[in-house]
Structure 1
Amino acid sequence: MPKRNIIWFRRDLRISDHPALLEAIQTSDEIIALFILDSKLIQHSGSKRLAYLAASLRALDESLNNKLHVMVGEQVEVLQELMLRYGATSVHISTEYEPYGARRDERVEAAGIPLVRTGSPYAVAPGRVVKASDATPYKVYTPFYRAWRVHGWRKPAAKPKTINAITPKDTDRNFPDWKLPQGLSITPAGEKAALARWKIFQKNGLNNYNEGRNLAGIDGTSKLSAHLKWGEIHPRTLLAELGEDKDHDTFRKEIAWREFYADVLFNNPHTEKEYYAPRFAQMRYDAPGEKFEAWKSGKTGYPFVDAAMRQIVQEGWMHNRTRMVVASFLVKDLHLEWQLGADFFMEHLVDFDVASNAHGWQWTAGSGTDASPYYRVFNPIEQGKRFDADGAYTRKYVPELAHLSAGTIHEPWLHPDGYTHGYSQPIVDHATERLESLARLHEIKADKPQDPRA
C-alpha cells in the first residue's frame, strides 16, 4: 500500500513557498489535500471574508488539479475518518501560534492524531526573537525589528514540481457557496492574484512607499494584507525581493509590525480581548449607543472618518492611515472601549488577523505594547487635509460631499452648501472631546507630558 500523508490547509492557501506541503510530498507516495470548514471561525466572519475564502478555496483547488477535499465537521472526526479511509500515517500542517489555532491543534494531538509541523505564516515564528541579555520577548517594536533582522529568515521554499494527490469523492467536495452581497466589492482572491498584485506593487508603488503609503486617495500600499492573512503568499516571498533603500526598508518594517504583533499575542494570549496595560481597564468609558451606530455607518459628520468607515463596509478593507484615524475617533472622541471597534473590524475585514487587529487597536488606544501614547489624539480634520489633500478619497465614499472643493471638503460646515446633499452634522466637537479624553486619562494617573509630535 502506498504511503500517504494528509496536508491540512488552514491559513496557507497556496502551493508555492509552502514548506509543510513540500514535507508532506517528500515523505509520501500520495497526499490527501484537505481544508476543513471551521464552524466557529465561520460564525465570527462577515459576508465579505466568507466570500473571499470561498474564492480562495476554488483557486487553491485549481492549483491542485481539482483534488482538494473540502470537508464539513469537527476537525478530529474529519481527520480520523480520512486517515482510516486512506491509510494516512500523519497530518502535515503549518504551525499556528494565535490562541484559537494553537488550542485547536493541541486538541487534535490529544486525540492521538500525529501532527507534523513545518513552517508557519511568518518569516520568523513567534517566540524566536528574544533579548540576548535574558531571553525574554521584546515589548517595544524598534528593538524587536533590529533583532528580527539579525535573526533572519530562510529563503522561499521551492514550488513542488509535481503534486501526486488523491482524487476526492464528490461528497468530499463541499465548496461553500458564499456570495458577496450585491453592491459590495472585494479584492480578487487566490495565489495567482496575490503574486500578480505583488508584481503590480513592485512596479507602481514600492519605490515611493515611504511617502505613498500614507495617502489614502492613491494606490500607494501593497494591498497584500488579505493575501497574507489567508497565506496565499508568504512574507518570505516578499522579503526575498526587497533591497536596502528607504522605501524598501519601510515596507520591510510593515511586514515586521505584523510579526511583532504575532509575537506579542503569542506571549500574551489574553490581550486578544484584554488590555495589555491593565490600568486602562479602569478608565471611564461611555456605553455604546447612537454615536457608536453613527461611527459604524459612516455618519459621524467628520468626512475622513466617514469615508473610511464606508470603505470597510463596502470593500472589506481600509487604508492603514484611516484605520488609525477611525480607531482614535472611537476611543478618544466617543470614549468607547477599543474592543467594540476591534469586533466591528473582525466582522467586516477580509484581511482580519487576530494579532494585528487587537494590537493595532491597542496601539491607537494607548493601552498596548509600544503604544502610541494615550495623549496623542488624532485630529480627524487635519488628518483628512494632510492625507487626502485633494479630497479624492472622501468624494469616492461620501458622495454627499462630492460637490465640495479640496479646500472645504474636510470642513463642510465652512461652506454654505456643505449640507445641502444630506451629509450628517458632527456628532461631537473634536476639540472638546480631546480635552475630555485627557481628563479621563488623568483620572487613572497615566498622564504624561504632551508629545510635540502629536
Structure 2
Amino acid sequence: MTSAATSTPQPATLVWFRQDLRVQDNPALAAAVTRGRPVIPVYILDDAGEGRWPMGGASRWWLHHSLAALDQALRSRGSRLVLARGESGAVLRDLIKATGADAVYWNRRYEPAVIARDKGLKAGLDVEALSFNSALLFEPHTIRNKAGAPFQVFTPFWKHCLTLAVEEPVKLRGGDLPSPMSWPRSLELGALGLLPKIPWDGGFAAAAAPGEAGAMSRLKQFTAGAMDDYADRRNRPDVLGTSALSAHLHFGDIGPRQIWAAVKATTKGSGVFPPNRGAQVFLSEVGWREFAHHLLFHFPHTPEAPLRMDFAAFPWVQDSVKLRAWQQGRTGYPIVDAGMRQLWATGWMHNRVRMIVASFLVKHLRISWQAGADWFWDTLVDADLASNTLGWQWTAGCGADAAPYFRIFNPILQGLKFDPEGDYVRRWVPELARLPAEFIHQPWEAPMDVLASAGVTLGRTYPHPLVDHGEARDAALAALATIRRAKP
C-alpha cells in the first residue's frame, strides 16, 4: 500500500526561459534543481509584453531554432520544454494552477517594458518568484561613477568594470533533471508561428547554427584561432575575423561569463584581463555590450529618442525612395550595398559594415537613425534593443560616447581600407565581381572598356551613386550647424 507521503506529488518549480536558452550557466535552472523539487521548463511567446519592440522576423527565425535546440537538450536530461503563447502573467498563473507549482524562477532582462512587467509579476504571483542574472557580467543597477551617476562614456565605464570580479559560470551537473509526475499541455513549436510563411530565410541556416551546442562550438573555434588576430582582423568583412556570437549572446545560447572564462582559460591569463592583445580587444567588445545595457537601463527613453536632446531638432529628411534603395542594397556604393544584401540574405552583418551603412543612412542620406534602427530590428537575427540603440545613436552622434556627427565615413575609403581586394563586395554584389580591385569600390571611376569587359553598365546592371559623397557631406554638416545655432 502506497503512503500518502509518497503518492502526493511535490510542488514543482516553473523555470521561465526567456533570453537564456541554454542549460549550462543558467542560474534560474540551477537554483530550481537545487531546490530538490520537480522542474518544469517553460517558454512563453508574449509579443505584447515586449512593449513597442516585439521581435522582428529574423529574430523569430533564430528563436524557433534555438527553442528546438533547448528542447532537445532538456529531453537528453529526461525533461522537456513547455511552450505557450499569450500574456506572460496569465500563462504563468494557469501553469501554477495546472501543476501545483509553488515557485517561479527566471533570469533577468533589462528592457524597460520587460522590467516593468517583471516587477508586476513578482508582486502579483501568489508563489515564490525569484530572478537571477545570467545575461551580463555586471548588472546595470550595480555600476555607478564616482558621483553616483550612470556612466555615459565607455572607457571609464569599462575601466571601472575591470576592477570588479567576474563570477564563474554556473555549472549544472550531469544526469536527468527532476521531472513532474505529469506534464502540463504544451503547444507544438510550429504553432508559435515563428518561421516565415514566405521562405526568405534560405540563406540563414548556412550562416548560423542557433542553440547552445552551436554557440559553444563557435566559441571553441574562435578562441582556438581567430581570437589571436582579432585586434587586426576584426574590421575586415572579407575574412572570418570576428566571433559571430552576437545572436547566441542575445538569445542566451551562451552567456558572457562563459565567454569570459573560456577566453581567460585559453590565454592562461592570471589577472583580471588576459595578456593576449586579441583577447583584450575581444573582451572589450563584450564590454560594449555591457555598456549598451547600462545605458538602456538608466536611460530607458533612448530606443525612441536621442540621449542628447539637442538632436531632437535635427532636420532629418523624409525620403522613402532613398530609404528603400538603402534597404535593398541599391545605393551605388558597393561596400554599403554589400552589407545591406548580406543582412537580407543571412540576417547578420559584419560590425564594421554596420557602422558604414548606418553612417551612410544618417549622414549621406540624412534619414533618421530611428528608421535605420527599425530596419535592423526586423532584419537582424541578433537584434538586441540595447545594442541596436547604442549603435545607431553612436553613429548619429546623439547618444552616449557617440562619434560626432561631423565624423562622416567615406564609403569609398572604408571599402578600400577594410575590403582591399574587393572579396566582400564580390560575394554580395556579384554584378561587380569581375571588376579589378582598384575600381570595385568606385565603379564609376572605371574606364568604359574596363566596365564593358566586367559586364557592368552603370544605371542598368548596377546603379549610379544615390548621392555624391562630397555634396552629401556638405549638406550633412550644414544640417548639423542648424541645431548648433539653435542652442541657447
Same fold (TM over 0.5): yes
Q: Residues 185 and 142 from structure 1, CA distance in 2 versus in 1: closer, same or farther, beyond 3 angstroms?
A: same
Check conservation: 2:329, 2:341, Cα contact below 8 A. Answer: yes
What is the CA–CA distance in structure 2 between the aligned matches of 1:168 and 1:99, rounded to whole Å?
36
2:204 match: 185
What is the CA–CA distance in structure 2 between the aligned matches of 1:168 and 1:360, rounded to whole Å?
46
Q: Which letter maps to 2:120?
A: R
Per-residue deviation, residues 50-76 of structure 1 (Å, max 9, x unmatched): 121111101000111151100122211
Q: Which letter maps to 2:107?
A: S
What is the CA–CA distance in structure 2 between the aligned matches of 1:330 and 1:74, rounded to whole Å?
36
What is the CA–CA distance in structure 1 between the aligned matches of 2:169 and 2:225, rounded to whole Å?
23
What is the CA–CA distance in structure 2 between the aligned matches of 1:15 and 1:359, rounded to whole Å?
29
Shift of 1:87: 1.4
Shift of 1:101: 1.6
What is the CA–CA distance in structure 1 between the aligned matches of 2:28 and 2:185, rounded to whole Å?
26
Shift of 1:315: 0.6
Q: Does 1:319 align with 2:350?
A: yes
Q: 1:2 aligns with which of 1, 10, 21?
A: 10
What is the CA–CA distance in structure 2 between the aligned matches of 1:148 and 1:419, rounded to whole Å?
53
Q: Which letter maps to 1:294?
A: A
What is the CA–CA distance in structure 2 between the aligned matches of 1:39 and 1:263, rounded to whole Å?
24
Per-residue deviation, residues 93-152 of structure 1 (Å, max 9, x unmatched): 111111122122123234334420122310111121211x32211110000000011122
What is the CA–CA distance in structure 2 between the aligned matches of 1:12 and 1:428, rounded to whole Å?
43
Check conservation: 2:25, 2:134, Cα contact below 8 A. Answer: no
Shift of 1:168: 6.6
Per-residue deviation, residues 356-394 of structure 1 (Å, max 9, x unmatched): 001110001000100111110011110000001111100
- Superposition map of 1:8-407 within 5 A: 8-40=16-48, 44-65=54-75, 67-113=80-126, 114-131=128-145, 133-162=146-175, 163-166=177-180, 169=183, 171-176=185-190, 178-179=194-195, 181-182=199-200, 183-186=202-205, 187-242=208-263, 243-407=274-438
Q: Which letter maps to 2:88?
A: Q
What is the CA–CA distance in structure 2 between the aligned matches of 1:156 and 1:410, rounded to whole Å?
45
Q: Does 1:425 align with 2:464?
A: yes
Q: Which letter maps to 2:140?
A: P
Q: Which letter maps to 1:383?
A: Q
Per-residue deviation, residues 12-43 of structure 1 (Å, max 9, x unmatched): 00001111111111113111100001233598
Per-residue deviation, residues 148-177 of structure 1 (Å, max 9, x unmatched): 111221011112333113377584143135
What is the CA–CA distance in structure 1 between the aligned matches of 2:301 and 2:17, rounded to whole Å?
26
Q: Which letter maps to 2:343?
A: I
2:6 match: none
3-state SS of 2:317 partner: coil
Q: Percent identity?
A: 38
3-state SS of 1:76 partner: helix
Check conservation: 1:15, 1:21, Cα contact below 8 A. Answer: yes
What is the CA–CA distance in structure 1 between the aligned matches of 2:345 and 2:121, rounded to whole Å?
37
Per-residue deviation, residues 279-324 of structure 1 (Å, max 9, x unmatched): 0111111113211110000000000000000111111100000100
Check conservation: 1:129, 1:151, Cα contact below 8 A. Answer: no
Per-residue deviation, residues 199-222 of structure 1 (Å, max 9, x unmatched): 111122100000110001100000
Structure 2: tracts of 5 or more residues without a match: 1-8, 264-273
Check conservation: 1:332, 1:437, Cα contact below 8 A. Answer: yes
Q: Which letter maps to 1:100?
A: A
CA RMSD between the two structures: 1.8
Q: Which letter maps to 1:24?
A: A
1:413 match: 444
Shift of 1:80: 0.7
Q: Which letter maps to 1:208?
A: D
- Please give the TM-score of this superposition, normalised by the length of structure 2: 0.88
3-state SS of 1:8 partner: strand
2:271 match: none
Shift of 1:244: 2.2
What is the CA–CA distance in structure 2 between the aligned matches of 1:238 and 1:264, rounded to whole Å?
22
1:451 match: none
What is the CA–CA distance in structure 1 between the aligned matches of 2:111 and 2:57, rounded to whole Å?
23
Q: Residues 431 and 166 from structure 1, CA distance in 2 versus in 1: closer, same or farther, beyond 3 angstroms?
A: farther
Q: Which letter maps to 1:63?
A: A
Check conservation: 2:98, 2:184, Cα contact below 8 A. Answer: no
What is the CA–CA distance in structure 2 between the aligned matches of 1:412 and 1:85, rounded to whole Å?
65
- Which range is displaced more, 416-425 or 151-160? 416-425
Larger Rg: 2
What is the CA–CA distance in structure 1 between the aligned matches of 2:461 and 2:445, rounded to whole Å?
15
- Please give the TM-score of this superposition, normalised by the length of structure 1: 0.94
What is the CA–CA distance in structure 1 between the aligned matches of 2:408 and 2:300, rounded to whole Å?
27
Check conservation: 1:45, 1:348, Cα contact below 8 A. Answer: no
- Which range is displaced more, 74-83 or 246-255? 74-83
What is the CA–CA distance in structure 2 between the aligned matches of 1:255 and 1:179, rounded to whole Å?
29
Structure 1: tracts of 5 or more residues without a match: 448-454
- Which range is displaced more, 305-314 or 438-447? 438-447
